[in-house]
Structure 1
């Protein structure tokens, strides 16, 4: 395909060849892989537009993890845990000459991003995390995910088609076809099964307190997939994190609401800004609840002052947390004060 960035190769400490691409200009963003094929992914129109959109302000690094895409397919299937993925990431950063970068952890690579930030804080500017958890088993529990995984042994091609359409929601014919092709050519069924088996034991929860990098935890999922509370809990375990629930239900980033997603992520990577999304303004009642919360009132006291039931206060607070990307009461108060000081309307 014409116009693609060159595929370069990095060598890991254990001798695995890792394919990667570098393009764009500006602060570095390393988009870490889940099941990937960086060459085939450029054929997906929406994804290609996302790459080019990020490259307008950022230096973007894409790479294929061991056993996938352009990287070595012949790998030790018993060594696909976090440490192996950390070796891949370290090799790419070193080969690309990046001493420091923002990491975009996407699904399977979220724990690797967390572990790297905890163990190598000097090399991580910021973190953007989407679609994963510190304990990967939690992301694999939904029934629809388990049903899809059961197809791997039966028919690898059918699994790829189902993953692209039923799970990721690609209903547009061309994009769906190319996404399925990217899945199908990313790896083989035995390697993918080994990835999944290793993922069941990946848990970096204990490393969350050691992450010092400012972190943006993003969530956009349908009801049958990863619940918002899982991502909210991840943000709550990180010392410096914002949680933002994106509008929509397709479990992807930069696709369903591409322009807004690009502004959000680019703003955070370039300056630590978290742009508030259209449609997230608080209602008058939610502002009243937040005002009383900021004054130190309990839920019972807020209910009495406003003449509403306590469960109604709880419902309003849940909406406030979601709209502000707050992790709880204290975080909501802090964000409210920050927004007031900066003259942003709540």
Structure 2
């Protein structure tokens, strides 16, 4: 009733109409009694808020929302705006169908709700159409792809939008994805309409296919570090084979007013979002041959999406201590910016808890979850006795402050690299360029205050937990705890002591991730196929 009154805000609704709308199955007398009880309950609740917005008299009921930021009213205002900024804001408000999931089994109410849902949905589709046209005309390729992908999720039979997305992918040099989009278009048209694609769509496909055959497809992957065969490792000097790495372009997206930096490499069929631990710097990562090797291997089977979390690296600094929810929304903003509707979340160390929260909150956007060297709780307690104690955390922080700027002490992060002065010098520079000393210490303490144990049972996506047996930061018991409390999780324990993902036997780690991710993606596709017939 409150939702109905809110959408008719300021307009008095007769009690007779409300009773018939919401309680028609109960008979007239019972319907009026139910209405009186509902009005009484709402009046009491509104009175506790000190508000006179709920207006009633003997014959009618009304709700006044003049100065309330009501989402539907805000969406309607923004969706009719003329600027792309207004349209983007409108679509940020529109999260799905009106009152999604609510069903009263009252035919009058369901009829009203059906009409309202379609009206608002049509406004959202129109806003998306206008944005696709705008971004296409202004050659904003990533925004065009992102918006077209969202529109196709709502209107999968829109062949013109399939073409727009194919052109955006092709202009980005992602020919394989453009051709894959044609296949998706062809399949949905055949399944739902028993029709082939239009001639214009087929001609675009043939043009792109000929382009791929006549020249090597352009990839956003850094080409400088060659990719060894799976299972190859570091050479005698401790570095991996390949030339000087080259950082890919860095892009930015706004998330609640904060600039979040991200990079995209690889052109594989699976989107993988890597969320690093503690602090990071997107550009500096490529200066380590070992780290660049790992990133290139990940990009060999996926479109790898990486970001610097708010407050670190190339993202906005001095933004205060974040919440897991804020960082989760930052990831969602990056996914929207690159046009990814569904991705594998890969979180290592302190990046893991936020990925767990994302998977529990947005299962429809999480294809799978990969966790390495991560934890559910950051500080020791009787019911979680494996984490570091408060005294140990104080010692860690003191060591960070004492050693900041010097060649990094790798004895805990990567014991196998303690004698590798090149890696130690690089890691120290990586940390310096990731955060200031004060911010790094504050974020270290923040990471020890995390506790996501309560959300683990809510995770319902394919999950891989990988743990090193001798990890000095995160003990194997913590990885086993995650696998035990996440339904259906697969647990893999690897030999070794290094906490960082580019440490010893890093190829074995990537092999495990690749095998799991590609299998999870294949299973997901088969499930969708079975459900859709």
Provide TM-score, normalisation by structure 2: 0.48
Please point out which of 275, 289, 297 is paired with 1:45: 289
Match for residue 388 of structure 2?
141
Match for residue 358 of structure 2?
116
Query: Once the two structures are superposed, what CA deviation does each residue of 1:246-275 show, in whole Å capped at 9, x if it has no partner?
Result: 1112223243113222221111111239xx
Per-residue deviation, 1:155: 4.9
Per-residue deviation, 1:165: 4.7
SS in 2 for 1:150: helix
Please point out which of 19, 24, 29 is paired with 2:272: 29
Per-residue deviation, 1:238: 0.2
Per-residue deviation, 1:97: 1.2
Structure 2 gap ranges (5+): 1-243, 381-385, 522-533
Per-residue deviation, 1:166: 4.5
Match for residue 174 of structure 2?
none
Query: Do 2:375 and 2:474's aligned partners in 1 also have CA atoms closer than 8 Å?
Result: no
Please point out which of 257, 273, 294 is paired with 2:505: 257
Please point out which of 251, 254, 265 is paired with 1:11: 254
SS in 2 for 1:167: coil
Please point out which of 47, 50, 73 is paired with 2:317: 73
Write the distance in 1 (CA, Å) between the matches of 2:507 and 2:267.
19
Query: Once the two structures are superposed, what CA deviation does each residue of 1:141-190 show, in whole Å capped at 9, x if it has no partner?
Result: 078765332134445324x712x454332232222221221112110122
Write the distance in 1 (CA, Å) between the matches of 2:245 and 2:500.
26
Write the distance in 2 (CA, Å) between the matches of 1:81 and 1:4.
29
Match for residue 216 of structure 1?
464
Cα RMSD for the two superposed structures: 2.2
Question: Which stretch of the first structure deviates more once superposed, 19-28 or 245-254?
Answer: 245-254
Write the distance in 1 (CA, Å) between the matches of 2:249 and 2:500.
25
Query: Do 2:377 and 2:387's aligned partners in 1 also have CA atoms closer than 8 Å?
Result: no
Write the distance in 1 (CA, Å) between the matches of 2:342 and 2:473.
33
Write the distance in 2 (CA, Å) between the matches of 1:254 and 1:233.
24
Write the distance in 2 (CA, Å) between the matches of 1:168 and 1:114.
25
> How many residue pairs get matched?
268
Change over 3 Å in CA distance of 1:140–1:149 after alignment to 2: farther
SS in 1 for 2:350: helix
Query: Do 1:145 and 1:225's aligned partners in 2 also have CA atoms closer than 8 Å?
Result: no
Structure 1 gap ranges (5+): 274-346
Write the distance in 2 (CA, Å) between the matches of 1:132 and 1:73.
24
SS in 1 for 2:497: coil
Match for residue 64 of structure 1?
308
Match for residue 312 of structure 1?
none
Match for residue 246 of structure 1?
494
Query: Do 1:219 and 1:231's aligned partners in 2 also have CA atoms closer than 8 Å?
Result: yes
Question: Which stretch of the first structure deviates more once superposed, 165-174 or 28-37?
Answer: 165-174
For the pair 1:168 / 2:168, whether they are aligned, the reply is no
Query: Do 2:412 and 2:498's aligned partners in 1 also have CA atoms closer than 8 Å?
Result: no
Match for residue 301 of structure 1?
none
Larger radius of gyration: 2
Write the distance in 2 (CA, Å) between the matches of 1:44 and 1:100.
30
Write the distance in 2 (CA, Å) between the matches of 1:153 and 1:176.
16
Write the distance in 1 (CA, Å) between the matches of 2:474 and 2:246.
35
Provide TM-score, normalisation by structure 1: 0.72
Query: Do 1:105 and 1:130's aligned partners in 2 also have CA atoms closer than 8 Å?
Result: yes
Write the distance in 2 (CA, Å) between the matches of 1:92 and 1:221.
33
Which of structures 1 and 2 has the larger relative contact order (alpha carbons within 8 angstroms, sep 6+)?
Answer: 1
